[in-house]
């Protein structure tokens, strides 16, 4: 795909929408067109029909646009715009405003199509910010304990983080991981995630001095591991 999916951020607050747009640029998704429709024409809090129409036109590069509203009237006003200007390539997406925008922007930057970008934003709803602690599971039966665990064939590398794994390198990891055909997992602190999801990577909570292990299985496993390990080694 030559053109990226566009993203429109609809918020009651111009500052909130603009700040989120700045965040998306900082995590390495600055090539994704992001337009904002925040506040009213007179600078107050609220949503503007005309600003949403203009933002959709600004974000449109021919590949489609997703619209992410924050709450309340931003949803209703966006629905009114899409009813008056129906297009199959402009989607109103029900997703967390910040997390959905981050997931959508990184997915769009990797060259995904409209449906994939929209789905990435929706899936952000299921990413936990804080782990809940549950009682440890009962010990496995002796036969299960004796069985050797399955380890996929492929490549792996362990990297000691020189800094905390924050949004920008997580975005780079997600973009690069999406380019490989191999199945990739990143492990930290007993958790394992698919690195093609930026929010999943961030949910690891990997901090400076911690060890992150990259596993890959498939035809380009070696290249995948080397590429992602290099990104982790350069976190700053």
Q: Helix, strand or coil for residue 65? A: strand
User: Any idea how long the chain is?
Assistant: 236
- Cα 194 to its chain centre, rounded Å, is 12
Is 128 in contact with 98 (CB distance < 8 Å)?
no
Q: Give the active site residue among 12, 85, 151, 166.
A: 166
- Cβ neighbours of residue 174 under 8 Å, at least 6 residues apart? 106, 107, 110, 195, 196, 197, 198, 201
| Alpha carbon distance 197, 157 (integer Å) | 20
Locate 14 and state its tokens: 């111009």
Q: Say how far apart CA 47 and CA 13 lie, in whole Å.
A: 8
The β-bridge partners of 34 are: 7
- Per the annotation, the verdict on 151 as an active-site residue is no
Catalytic residue positions, numbered: 166
């Amino acid at each position: 795909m030559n053109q990226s999916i566009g993203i429109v951020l609809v918020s009651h607050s111009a500052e909130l929408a603009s700040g989120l747009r700045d965040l998306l640029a900082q995590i390495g998704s600055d090539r994704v067109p992001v337009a904002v429709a925040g506040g009213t024409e007179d600078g107050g809090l609220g949503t503007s029909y005309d600003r949403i129409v203009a933002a959709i036109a600004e974000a449109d590069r021919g590949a489609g646009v997703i619209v992410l509203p924050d709450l309340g009237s931003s949803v209703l006003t966006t629905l009114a715009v899409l009813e008056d200007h129906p297009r199959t390539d402009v989607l109103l997406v029900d997703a967390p405003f910040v997390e959905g925008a981050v997931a959508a922007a990184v997915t769009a930057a990797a060259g995904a199509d409209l449906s994939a970008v929209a789905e990435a934003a929706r899936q952000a709803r299921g990413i936990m910010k804080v782990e809940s602690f549950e009682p440890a599971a009962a010990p496995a039966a002796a036969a299960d304990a004796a069985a050797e665990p399955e380890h996929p064939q492929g490549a792996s590398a362990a990297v000691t983080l020189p800094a905390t794994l924050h949004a920008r390198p997580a975005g780079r990891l997600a973009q690069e991981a999406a380019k490989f055909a191999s199945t990739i997992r990143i492990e930290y602190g007993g958790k394992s995630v698919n690195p093609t999801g930026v929010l999943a990577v961030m949910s690891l909570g990997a901090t400076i001095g911690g060890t992150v292990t990259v596993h890959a299985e498939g035809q380009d496993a070696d290249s995948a591991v080397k590429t992602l390990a290099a990104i982790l080694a350069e976190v700053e």
